[in-house]
Structure 1
């Protein structure tokens, strides 16, 4: 790294059901960053969509609510700011890179990434297409199917289809997916809106609940097996972490309570898996990462099927939970890459990806 500090704009909050989780992530990441190497500028996206920029962070934060920035710092009031949503004009405060610590829709789904592409600003993580495909569980699984990456059986249902012919959908689930099955909003994370249906009598209520959070729902086959996750980092050359296993305590599946309430689940890192399974897991994780055109980082969630020990991909998360106690950083800690170094590695990967894109030519007369 050069002597000049890199300016990192840390973006957090957002119009998403995962707003609070994003605040926790930002608090943890900012406090882990080496302030001798980076100038850290916080940018808070409120739940109503308003962007608030704060002053440079020069010391560790004491509590999370310090990230709830003052309204007077609104980006919209700074005509020459690097990221005024009403104007693409760039000022002198342009950061070297943006770290978008946003989870769920309106941040992890390619929308914010598209803004950075238009402004030609470097950012951490996957691009527009990869972020969008990684957020939409239906698109993701369609791509996995095309690339022969094994996954649960699934059906996609739009709100229009459900409202116009729910009996046909119910019959289709019975004939193709069966029970038990899982109902999920297509574009949510952190297990928001997910429920397990043991029989047809539970299906209608579960689908209706999922449609509170999205206009498209995915209905998936339940896989009996162990729930395992790995981290992947890289752009062209990929590294895969040791695997970690999720053990839920008294829950039917790894739901929101299991993830964020202490004592509801435990993580076993590294997971005790046969070498053959670990090799297959690493191969499938890399294939899934490349199939979705991801870059920077992702957490790949799989099942190790009980009946034959085969790896089945559940989903990929392009901006996983990122507190120092979250699965993704813990996986890398046990692989030999501590939290602070992981953050620095991801910033470097974002700048590498940006520099690579600068080689693209947009005129044909030169």
Structure 2
């Protein structure tokens, strides 16, 4: 019997549009012989919607999303299913739209990639693809991510960070700290965002001020990173769960040094291989550099309790020093193109991700969630103490 997979996409995020693209790519490439797909679209107002109109990308292009039903989710904890109900029930309307066996989140950025959505599915006790609440949250917050990587002694560029409030109160203090500790050039980023949105390169004091003013529009926490001179960017994906993990081939994005824009990432970078394209796959690396990157990718993945798939981005300087730049958990990066050289198609990758989700869910349900002790009889609420 086919399992029912809900692909959730859209969301209240500046990365809404790319999330729609990711969701429809997953729906297009999922194994239809193994799974029935239920599309769930979260619009920019935060409404959860489903309907066949979501399956056609042209409807998004033409703003022609008609006949969609607004839904709410419920579950029976031991049933391991989610039930979709109409948000508003009329006298003759169906009380149940469908049920779901597993969820494939495809929401980029805020409220989707940061552990928020994952927490919903944890509470519903439903299998879901990709990182845990913890792994997603740490992977999304660049400051927390770097703190974890530092604890695991992973190599990183120097950085400072601060709250938006501090910038408003004392810009000069932050600028002085950045200049003394990092110098120029630097990259300024919102702590919680992806797709290059809000990120700028600064080569002097005035550009640094401009870069921070852009970044603080998107987050209350800002990070400033030391720029590496003429670096190569090398990316490597990791797939698996716990210590059963493997690495993909490495890629080298071409022409990124001045910072890839949102358009560069999602429109211009469709080329998949060969020199002169937007990506070189596999990257031309010495064996020792390739092996070190693969090892660091696995360590970074395990450091955030990774599961499913994630892409880890590296910088390699002219002296061949390697720095971990960041980890992009699913759905920030499905990275199917990094697995294709190993014979793993997009369809195969989706299958494996769903299988990992089911395995993680089985493992979770081995945990004990009750502890039999007659605590109520030991507590006097009025005295706010436990009888010894």
TM-score scaled by length of structure 2: 0.85
- Listed as ranges, the matches of 1:1-366 within 5 Å are 4-55=1-52, 61=56, 63=58, 65=60, 69-70=65-66, 72-76=68-72, 82=83, 93-224=98-229, 225-236=231-242, 237-248=244-255, 252-262=258-268, 266-307=278-319, 309-320=320-331, 328-365=335-372
2:385 is matched with none
SS at match of 1:108: coil
**Structure 1's 64 and 103: CA in aligned 2 closer, same or farther, altered over 3 A?**
farther
Give unmatched runs, 5+ long, in structure 2.
Answer: 77-81, 88-94, 271-276, 374-388
Deviation, 1:204, is 1.2
**Residue pair 2:51, 2:67 contacting (<8 A) in 1 also:** no
**Structure 1's 356 and 271: CA in aligned 2 closer, same or farther, altered over 3 A?**
same
**Residue pair 1:52, 1:70 contacting (<8 A) in 2 also:** no
2:381 is matched with none
SS at match of 1:94: strand
Which protein has the bigger strand share? Answer: 2
Paired residues in the alignment total: 352
**Structure 1 runs, 4 residues or longer, greater than 3 Å off:** 60-64, 66-72, 76-81, 83-86, 90-94
**Residue pair 2:107, 2:331 contacting (<8 A) in 1 also:** no
> C-alpha offsets along residues 127-148 of structure 1, whole Å, 9 cap, x if unaligned?
1010000000000011111110
**Residue pair 1:41, 1:56 contacting (<8 A) in 2 also:** no
**Residue pair 1:8, 1:40 contacting (<8 A) in 2 also:** yes
**Residue pair 1:248, 1:258 contacting (<8 A) in 2 also:** no
Deviation, 1:82, is 2.4
Deviation, 1:198, is 0.3
**Structure 1's 356 and 12: CA in aligned 2 closer, same or farther, altered over 3 A?**
same
SS at match of 1:312: strand
Larger C-alpha radius of gyration, 1 or 2? 2
**Deviating more after overlay: 187-196 vs 76-85:** 76-85
**Structure 1's 173 and 85: CA in aligned 2 closer, same or farther, altered over 3 A?**
farther
Deviation, 1:106, is 0.6
SS at match of 1:129: helix
Distance 1:113 1:198 in 2: 38
**Structure 1's 258 and 228: CA in aligned 2 closer, same or farther, altered over 3 A?**
same
TM-score scaled by length of structure 1: 0.89
Deviation, 1:313, is 0.6
